[in-house]
Amino acid sequence: MYRTHTCWELTAQQAWKQVTLCWRVNKVRNLWGMTFIDLRDRYGITQITHDPAKSKIEFPEVKSEYVVQIIWEVVARPDAMINKDMATGAIEINALEVKVLTKAKLLPFSIVEEPNTSEENRFKHRYLDLRRRKILDNVLFRSKMLTFTRNRFSDKWFVDVQTPIFTVSSPEGARDYLVPSRINPGQFYALPQAPQQYKQLLMVWGIDKYFQIAPCFRDEDPRADRHSCEFYQIDCEMSFINQEDVYSVVEWYLNSLIPTLSPHKKIIVAFKRLKHREAVDQYGSDKPDLRFGMPLVEMTQDFANSGFTVFKDTVANKWTIKAMKFEHKILSRKEADALTEEVKKNGAKGLAYICFDAEWVKGPIAKFLSPEDIETIKAKTWAKEGDTVLFVADTYDTVTKSLGRLRIYIRDTYLTLDKDDLAFCRIEDFPLFELDDTGKLDFCHNPFSIVKWWAEALKNPDRLEIYSEQYDLSCNGYEILSWSIRNHDPELLLETFKMVGRGEEEIKQKFGAMYEAFQFGPPPHGWFAIGFDRLLMILKDEENIREVYAFPKSGRAQDVMMWAPGFVDQNQLDDLGIELNAKTKKILAW
Amino acid sequence: MYRTHTCWELTAQQAWKQVTLCWRVNKVRNLWGMTFIDLRDRYGITQITHDPAKSKIEFPEVKSEYVVQIIWEVVARPDAMINKDMATGAIEINALEVKVLTKAKLLPFSIVEEPNTSEENRFKHRYLDLRRRKILDNVLFRSKMLTFTRNRFSDKWFVDVQTPIFTVSSPEGARDYLVPSRINPGQFYALPQAPQQYKQLLMVWGIDKYFQIAPCFRDEDPRADRHSCEFYQIDCEMSFINQEDVYSVVEWYLNSLIPTLSPHKKIIVAFKRLKHREAVDQYGSDKPDLRFGMPLVEMTQDFANSGFTVFKDTVANKWTIKAMKFEHKILSRKEADALTEEVKKNGAKGLAYICFDAEWVKGPIAKFLSPEDIETIKAKTWAKEGDTVLFVADTYDTVTKSLGRLRIYIRDTYLTLDKDDLAFCRIEDFPLFELDDTGKLDFCHNPFSIVKWWAEALKNPDRLEIYSEQYDLSCNGYEILSWSIRNHDPELLLETFKMVGRGEEEIKQKFGAMYEAFQFGPPPHGWFAIGFDRLLMILKDEENIREVYAFPKSGRAQDVMMWAPGFVDQNQLDDLGIELNAKTKKILAW
């Protein structure tokens, strides 16, 4: 046996016992002829002192990050000497034997403080980067959250089913990762973007409550809140439920998770409900951050007769004008330029603004506005002295999108939010259909969600006014979960597919197993999926999702430590019956 | 709300309450003018009677497998009427309302009894196949075993770390599944055969106890005890341990799992220890089934002067003769032929045997054996009247292999073992090296296992007599887990690689991250991995591993329900920069 205790376990209770500790040297200091070693393991830190005047043992050379084994006798400190800053501060230790198990080269970057190196270098030596307490905490927290989550659902009779990781390419949704099949030449498996069809088939079978912390795979370009290659979702499907039943499970889970694992987090907005249209209208986003105000204020009709021709023409064009108040802020020219840049990035032609400075109204458009216009603005936005009001006049989509993004830009640039605040917002009534780029009607989300009030809704000739039983929950501006009630009636499914010009043949071809399964008595059912990594990222205050994985992929979807992806031998490709195409060969030849 | 209770929950306690049940109609019978419906859900079965003379409600047409919703009043049965065979036999029910939620077509095969159809047809409609209680039980058991296992390890401070599913092609071991990278043209990810390198890196980092129920991927040909595409292992790595420490964790886990989840199973052989060489010598296998006897008996030298020239020549050739006693069995000619066929399949030239019938010794070779030979055989094998003794004379490898397989053949053909018996056998002292097909020295197992007594062992000029700290555990003839202590010393690692003619350059190229990580103070560490699916298969008495997956792959590595793998669109291949090679195109053109 290498060790009898971990660092964390040593307290005054072990006094006068002989113990063996193993772990890493955190720090060595020599002072007054004595040696002080902080020994670190995953559980804690124990300080060891060696006084050559008292102990005659052979003491090898010990440096930071060495792994040592020390046999000691634990001595309780006198009350006056207790170090209350350390969990193990009530004890001291007499060495009986010290052995260096393995040595360590000098680390390429500091692990005690914030890293003094690039992300690439950190990820290249992730096994060292992980020695930093912050990252260790993330990984330990992830483990706790996995255990907590699984037990919560198991306790409620959910069945943990591992759905296949090798499945078939899905015709809807994002790009698939493909795996060539050696045994079936020319054919490919796809890794599942989510286990959707399998979990619906579980319902047809008779598992009434399914859950899994499911690996999902989408070949999308990396983003700060989206990890390359794989990510995980808490995946559920339930039979005999309506959407409020689903929602109550979601709320129950979050309301038990957060106080248990992150008790310092405060839910300041508890599951506010907004219709999809309201969210876009008021916050320019379908995942609004409700930790702060700054709603978008509708002002189109207020400027129908404005002296400012840009506004007047906008109204005449049946376009939209919205305002947003920036409280306690008079913009400098430079600041105004930066905000303008931001709305232009999102398609607006420009940003208008007025500042309510002292007694005067200032800003480039102030002179075009009548006193009545100013009064209306004040009345609608509740602007006071010291505030600025920002305007965008454009098509409805551009106004909402650009002001929505500007709102987030201002949050990130000017506001100081309490990082422990959590604001949840529930988005309802997603439209079932949308127009695609060519103006053709297509499904907006998942074609398998049921139509809201379907008996009536399907008669509505305005297809864009048909809604689905599809819901989202956002937290602090991140989309963290979705749920919906399924359309389990093959007739009704066919009817909605026909509305977008797709017939039974296509359903059978693309969703054959499910369409056939629905002939054998499917129960009514619904689902939700929580972004496990994203929720973890919020609870651990990380701005980049990569930090919540033990071994993350880089911004180029690479594991820079393991050199993945990499080139493979020709015979591996031959076995699989594939080769690189001409374009790729040309790229590689450069 | 669709339902107030599940079938299983209804007992006399709910008497006189109004309840709503939803689920599937298991059976409908009409008798004496009344209707009897067995309603089935995952939890149990509830019998419902409808007597039109008592209840005037409208009763829709109900058939097997329909999904119905029924509002009833629960009535406690008089004591004399209680049906003790049903969990819900203490109640009867008065219908208030009956509604058919969804109808079902006639099922393509029976789900109540053993299936009357092919495996392919069952898998094609797996969502129906799963309605059979036996398969449902497997899936519910799997969920319980997942939960139990994770909690056992979490409770003991193991950290659940999800290692990457997208990694790099491993130069050792089985064939990898590859995933082309779109963002990095010409490069491929590999799915991990096991998280070996990552879990070793976790040790270098400082997680001293890691576990994960890890998905593993090996592109091997399917077999009854090996699932295609993915399988799962209970994957552990620990720091500061020796092999007995690892072993104690394994035993602790199995000794808590089996009595808790499968209390009817009996451990009849509790972790017998055999050296690898002993196992081969005595049972002709490195995963011997110890539920029954029939050891191989070494008899080479006993026939040095035999009158039977085949045996005598074998001894002269320095080959091997082993005997195996088949108790209480006199072989017919036909049976003997079948056994001979079996050893020939495994390379032996033939099978010799003698039967101890009444007073006579019979069998084709009986006449060549002297009375002394017969006496020796009796003394060594303890053969008695009514027994047969089987012999193979050949090279050592052929003798052990063919008799080992014959032992299993006899088990499957003649023996009736108690299916609840479990016999565990621990195999020790695996050789570190073996000769490959060309006679070159190569690693026998994992090159990262440490050498046993390495300081002495490496001086042994007979490389094949060097052993590694590598262990296996078998149960009932299945290999269910492996463990080893790692070689964490880069110098020693280099030394063993050099012994098989491989240098530092190759280590750096193939195992760069780990070799570098080992420069930064790795702790001594070791691992084990338990075949989750295989253990489950044994505990649930399944002979084919496919049955323990909710959605298995077929014998051709296909998901016949979802048509995976499948052909993909040309633009998907273009995105990935690959194409089918000429040979594949030719196959497809046929």
B549 touches chain A (CB under 8 A): yes
Secondary structure (DSSP) of B13-63: GGTT-EEEEEEEEEEEEEETTEEEEEEEETTEEEEEEE-TTT--S------
A578, A585, A587, A590, best to mutate vs chain B, most B CBs in 10 Å = A578
Kindly give the residue spans of alpha helices, DSSP state H, lying in B101-160: 119-124, 126-129, 133-155
| Check whether domain B134-274+424-550 has CATH 3.30.930.10, yes or no | yes
pLDDT of residue B54: 74
**Residue-wise burial string across A168-203, b where 16 or more C-beta atoms lie within 10 A, e elsewhere:** bbbeeeebbbbbbbbbbbbbbbbbbbbbbbbbbbbb
Architecture category of domain B292-416 in CATH: 2-Layer Sandwich (3.30)
In whole angstroms, what is the distance from residue B137 CA to residue B539 CA? Answer: 12
Given a cut of 80, whether residue A75 has pLDDT beyond it is no
* Cβ neighbours of B577 in A, within 8 Å: 580-581, 583-584, 587
* Cβ neighbours of A131 in B, within 8 Å: 205-206
Kindly give the residue spans of alpha helices, DSSP state H, lying in B218-275: 243-261
Tell me whether strands B470-475 and B421-428 are parallel, antiparallel or unpaired: antiparallel
DSSP-assigned letter for residue A301: G
B159, B170, B488, best to mutate vs chain A, most A CBs in 10 Å = B159
In tens, the pLDDT along A238-277 reads 999 998 999 999 999 999 999 999 999 999 998 899 999 9
Residue with tokens 């590694």: B468
Its pTM surpasses 0.90 = yes
| Check whether domain A121-240+523-590 has CATH 3.30.930.10, yes or no | yes
In tens, the pLDDT along A433-488 reads 988 888 888 888 888 899 888 778 888 888 888 999 999 999 999 999 999 999 99
A248 touches chain B (CB under 8 A): no
CA distance A49 to chain B (A): 22
| Check whether domain B7-102 has CATH 3.10.270.10, yes or no | no
B23, B181, B570, best to mutate vs chain A, most A CBs in 10 Å = B181
pLDDT of residue A487: 93
> Tokens at residue A203, please?
């319902």
Nearest CB to A186; choose among B521, B549, B567: B567
B39, B62, B143, best to mutate vs chain A, most A CBs in 10 Å = B143
Q: Which whole number is the average pLDDT over A117-140? A: 92
Judged by DSSP in three states, B93 sits in strand
Given a cut of 70, whether residue A171 has pLDDT beyond it is no
Contact across the interface for B188 and A154, Cβ inside 8 Å: no
**Residue-wise burial string across B49-64, b where 16 or more C-beta atoms lie within 10 A, e elsewhere:** bbeeeeeeeeeeebeb
B71 touches chain A (CB under 8 A): no
In whole angstroms, what is the distance from residue A249 CA to residue A239 CA? Answer: 13
Given a cut of 70, whether residue A81 has pLDDT beyond it is yes
Q: Which of A141, A423, A163, A384 is nearest to A260 (CA)?
A: A141
Contact across the interface for A162 and B40, Cβ inside 8 Å: no
- ∠B299-B302-B303 over CA atoms, to 5°? 100
CA distance B487 to chain A (A): 12
A204 touches chain B (CB under 8 A): yes
What are the CA-CA distances from residue A192 to residues A159, A173, A198, A261 (Å)? 20, 11, 10, 30
pLDDT of residue B171: 67
Contact across the interface for B178 and A151, Cβ inside 8 Å: no
Judged by DSSP in three states, A195 sits in coil
Domain spans in chain A, listed from the N-terminal domain onward: 7-102, 121-240+523-590, 292-416
In whole angstroms, what is the distance from residue A368 CA to residue A101 CA? Answer: 79
Alpha carbon A327 to chain centroid, angstroms: 29
Residues of chain B with pLDDT under 70: 87, 171-172
Cα dihedral B145, B151, B152, B157 in deg (nearest 10): 150
- ∠B7-B9-B14 over CA atoms, to 5°? 110
Burial of B357 (0-12, 13-18, 19+ CB in 10 A): middle
Q: Which of B362, B361, B363, B380 is nearest to B301 (CA)?
A: B380
Q: Which whole number is the average pLDDT over A54-58? A: 76
* Cβ neighbours of B140 in A, within 8 Å: 159
Cα dihedral A276, A279, A284, A289 in deg (nearest 10): -120
Tell me whether strands B18-31 and B44-50 are parallel, antiparallel or unpaired: unpaired
* Cβ neighbours of B588 in A, within 8 Å: 185-186
pLDDT of residue B251: 94
Nearest CB to A67; choose among B140, B521, B562: B521
Judged by DSSP in three states, A163 sits in coil
Q: ipTM higher than 0.90?
A: yes
* Cβ neighbours of B511 in A, within 8 Å: none
Q: Which helix (H) or strand (E) holds B212?
A: strand B209-217
pLDDT of residue B502: 87
What's chain A's average pLDDT? 91
CA distance B299 to chain A (A): 43
Peptide bond into A565 cis (omega under 30): yes
DSSP-assigned letter for residue B564: B
- Name the least confident of A82-96, A121-135, A318-332: A82-96
Nearest CB to B184; choose among A66, A126, A565: A565
